[in-house]
């Protein structure tokens, strides 16, 4: 999982906020419930004490012995509900005390006794030695005959603690479940909401200068994502128009330059053949003819690239043995390597068939081998291989030449680009050869790669789709030329 993704961060923030809100809600609920239960229990005890003092004790002088005990037992049932009730006369005589509760939570006889004076005799909370804490309410009452009584009513505070403990237990059990559910639901919701962005990203990664007519998927949601996809599509449309304008300009300029260059070339040839031309001027005319010829080559290459990029070149594709084609071309170019005493090895796999245009593929092979010969010093080595790899036919041209610097590699297939050390005006032409190779490979659905470092040579590889898998490829060993001799 990518912890830096927007989906993860939004889910984490959502879960953290929800967890904080649940903790705050649980804490406030706990404190509010504790305060409410304490207040409600105190009110209940107060009402109970007042009921005993105002209703039962006022009638006590006219009643028989044991009447107060039976009334309290019948009305309040302290043993059943776990209550403590005690009525004490001002002279210290206990008129009534409740029995032990059924749950044996405390012993009434161990509840401390205090002098029967006016008002509350002791705090509301009272700790029984070796027993629980009681919440006690005590009031003094005076009968019409002048007799004073202290009425006490209490209940173990453990009852409130049990309720609060149950609340804590419920929160402790439900909160992880709720947070986990929110985490999973939040991640699913973020994944569904941001899923279209993945589609836009994958489609955007596949858009290059060769397929600017493609568009990103438009999300019909009416939100920011729809506006984003629409804006990106409009931007791609503007880029497409700009690239088409540049391509048209290159094609039109190249086409318009061909005629005047041809005329200029013919005129210079006519002047060079004139018998009246002095030798000094003949050399200058010859130099001008070379430059015009070089310029004509640049114009033709530019026109070729423009047509390939625009898709105007019709490829007469056919199923051909790629290994046989490479071997044939490499054999024809062997003499160029012999002039520099280069060791050239050619190994191709028999039956490596591809679907391509023979003349255009030949231009790719010639260009790559020619580059290897040009930039490999005398006595160097060049290896040319063709092999099947899964569903592709791979052409590899490896040399032990001067290599290419790391900063030049990303620009190697750009038009008019020449690496400082490995390319020069004299040996590298105008820097359009590899741009043409790239355009031809794109037209064939092929991919060209390069691995190189300064002083360690270069390795060019072209991957073409196979028309049929090679069941049992057989490598045909080629020739090796060393020091101008064929072995």
- Give the start-to-end residue ranges of the domains of the chain: 6-162, 224-310, 318-486
- pLDDT-wise least confident of 100-104, 117-121, 214-218, 255-259: 117-121
Tell me the C-alpha distance between 138 and 123, whole Å: 9
- What value does the mean pLDDT of the chain take? 79
Note the CATH architecture for domain 224-310: Orthogonal Bundle (1.10)
- Tell me the C-alpha to C-alpha distance, in Å, between residue 97 and each of 86, 111, 138, 318: 4, 10, 13, 113
In which band, very low, low, confident or very high, does the pLDDT at 481 lie, cut at 50, 70 and 90? very low
Model confidence pTM above 0.75: no
Q: What is the CA radius of gyration of the chain?
A: 50
* HEC-encoded secondary structure of the chain: CCCCCHHHHHHHHHHHHHHHHHHHHHHHHHHHHHHHHHHHHHHHHHHHHHHHHHHHHHHHHHCCCCHHHHHHHHHHCHHHHCCEEEEEECCCCEEEECCCCCCCCCCHHHCCCCCCCCCCCCCCEEECCCCCEEEEEEEEEECCCCCEEEEEEEEECHHHHHHHHHHHHHHHHHHHHHHHHHHHHHHHHHHHHHHHHHHHHHHHHCCCCCCCCCCCCCCCCCCHHHHHHHHHHHHHHHHHHHHHHHHHHHHHHHHHHHHHHHHHHHHHHHHHCCCCCCHHHHHHHHHHHHHHHHHHHHHHHHHHHHHHHHCCCCCCCEEEEHHHHHHHHHHHCHHHHHHCCCEEEEEEECCCEEEECHHHHHHHHHHHHHHHHHCCCCCCEEEEEEEEECCEEEEEEEECCCCCCCCCHHHCCCCCCCCCCCCCHHHHCCCCHHHHHHHHHHHCCCEEEEEECCCCCEEEEEEEEECCCCCCCCEEEEEEEECCEEC
Tell me the C-alpha distance between 485 and 466, whole Å: 35
In which band, very low, low, confident or very high, does the pLDDT at 459 lie, cut at 50, 70 and 90? very high
- Of 324, 352, 362, 357, give the one whose Cα is nearest residue 443: 357
pLDDT of residue 67: 87
8 A C-beta contact, residue 389 and residue 465: no
- Tell me the C-alpha to C-alpha distance, in Å, between residue 461 and each of 387, 393, 402: 11, 10, 18
268-313 pLDDT, tens digit each: 777 777 777 777 787 788 778 777 777 776 677 666 766 666 665 6
Tell me the C-alpha distance between 104 and 140, whole Å: 28
Tell me the C-alpha distance between 483 and 223, whole Å: 71
Tell me the C-alpha distance between 168 and 162, whole Å: 10
112-129 pLDDT, tens digit each: 776 544 444 455 777 777
Q: What is the mean pLDDT of residues 47-58?
A: 86
- pLDDT-wise least confident of 235-239, 325-329, 379-383: 235-239
- Of 328, 474, 460, give the one whose Cα is nearest residue 387: 474
Tell me the C-alpha distance between 238 and 74, whole Å: 93
142-191 pLDDT, tens digit each: 888 888 888 888 888 887 888 888 888 888 888 888 888 888 887 787 77
Helix-helix angle 158-205:6-51, to 10 degrees:
160
Place of tokens 């009447």: 67
8 A C-beta contact, residue 51 and residue 139: no
Rounded to 5°, angle at Cα 455 from 449 and 456? 50
Q: What is the mean pLDDT of residues 360-366?
A: 90
pLDDT of residue 203: 82
Which residues, including other chains, have CB under 8 Å from residue 473's CB and lie 6 or more apart? Answer: 349, 350, 351, 352, 387, 388
Query: Domain 318-486 falls in which CATH fold?
Result: Heat Shock Protein 90 (3.30.565)
Q: What is the mean pLDDT of residues 85-109?
A: 84
Q: Which two tokens stand for residue 321?
A: 């043995």
Q: Count the alpha carbons within 13 Å of 335 in the hemisphere toward its beta carbon.
A: 1
Q: What is the mean pLDDT of residues 85-89?
A: 88
- pLDDT-wise least confident of 150-154, 165-169, 325-329, 413-417: 413-417
Tell me the C-alpha distance between 477 and 383, whole Å: 11
198-223 pLDDT, tens digit each: 788 888 888 876 677 788 887 777 77
Tell me the C-alpha distance between 153 and 81, whole Å: 12
Q: Count the alpha carbons within 13 Å of 54 in the hemisphere toward its beta carbon.
A: 6
Class of domain 6-162: alpha beta
């Amino acid at each position: 999982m990518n912890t830096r993704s927007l989906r993860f961060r939004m889910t984490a923030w959502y879960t953290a906020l929800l967890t904080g809100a649940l903790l705050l809600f649980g804490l406030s609920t706990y404190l509010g419930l504790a305060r409410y239960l304490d207040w409600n229990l105190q009110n209940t005890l107060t009402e109970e004490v007042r009921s005993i003092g105002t209703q039962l004790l006022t009638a006590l002088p006219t009643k028989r012995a044991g009447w107060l005990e039976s009334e309290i037992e019948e009305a309040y049932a302290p043993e059943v509900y776990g209550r403590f009730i005690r009525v004490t006369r001002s002279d210290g005589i206990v008129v009534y005390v409740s029995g032990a509760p059924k749950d044996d939570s405390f012993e009434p006889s161990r509840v401390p006794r205090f002098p029967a004076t006016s008002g509350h005799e002791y705090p509301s909370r009272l700790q029984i030695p070796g027993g629980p804490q009681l919440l006690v309410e005590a009031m003094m009452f005076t009968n019409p005959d002048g007799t004073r009584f202290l009425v006490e009513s209490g209940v173990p505070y453990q009852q409130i603690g049990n309720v609060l403990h149950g609340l804590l237990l419920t929160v402790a059990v439900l909160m992880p479940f709720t947070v986990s559910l929110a985490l999973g639901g939040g991640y699913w919701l973020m994944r569904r909401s941001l899923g279209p962005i993945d589609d836009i990203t994958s489609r955007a990664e596949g858009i290059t200068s060769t397929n600017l007519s493609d568009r990103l998927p438009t999300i019909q949601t009416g939100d920011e994502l729809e506006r984003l996809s629409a804006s990106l599509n409009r931007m791609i449309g503007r880029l497409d128009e700009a690239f088409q304008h540049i391509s048209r300009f290159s094609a039109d300029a190249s086409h318009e330059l061909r005629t005047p260059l041809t005329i200029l070339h013919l005129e210079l040839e006519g002047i060079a053949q004139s018998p009246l031309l002095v030798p000094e001027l003949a050399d200058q005319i010859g130099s001008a003819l070379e430059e015009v010829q070089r310029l004509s080559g640049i114009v033709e290459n530019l026109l070729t690239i423009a047509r390939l990029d625009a898709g105007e070149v019709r490829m007469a594709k056919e199923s051909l043995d790629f290994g046989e084609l490479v071997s044939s071309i490499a054999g024809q170019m062997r003499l160029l390597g012999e002039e520099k005493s280069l060791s050239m090895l050619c190994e191709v796999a028999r039956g490596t068939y591809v679907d391509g245009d023979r003349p255009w593929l030949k231009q790719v092979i010639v260009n790559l081998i020619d580059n290897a010969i040009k930039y490999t010093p005398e006595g160097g080595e060049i290896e040319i291989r063709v092999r099947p790899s899964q569903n592709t036919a791979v052409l590899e041209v490896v040399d032990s030449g001067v290599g290419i610097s790391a900063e030049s590699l990303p620009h190697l297939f750009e038009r008019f680009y020449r690496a400082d050390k490995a390319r020069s005006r004299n040996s590298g032409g105008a820097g359009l050869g590899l741009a043409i190779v790239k355009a031809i490979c794109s037209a064939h659905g092929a991919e060209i790669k390069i691995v190189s470092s300064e002083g360690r040579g270069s390795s060019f590889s072209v991957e073409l789709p196979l028309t049929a898998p090679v069941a049992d490829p057989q490598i045909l060993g080629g020739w090796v030329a060393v020091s101008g001799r064929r072995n």
